[in-house]
Amino acid sequence: MRISVSDAMAQLTDLVRRAEAVRSAAAGEALPGANAAASQDFLYGEEGIPG
């Protein structure tokens, strides 16, 4: 598939614009809670082994 550089740039610009819109919409819907780094801590005991 061959497209011109200007068409590729236009597609990339449109893709970036859409991604920014999705990111902005998702940021407004995020819920507060545990961060990802600690979300699975309940699976392990004090010694760091599965409990």
What is the per-residue pLDDT across 4-45, written as a single tens digit (0 to 9) for each?
A: 999 999 999 999 999 999 898 888 777 777 677 777 778 888
Residues 6+ apart with CB under 8 A from 44: 50, 51
| Predicted pLDDT of residue 13 | 97
Model pTM greater than 0.95? no
Q: How far apart are CA 30 and CA 22, in angstroms?
A: 12
Q: Which of 10, 28, 6 is nearest to 18 (CA)?
A: 10
Radius of gyration of the chain (CA): 21
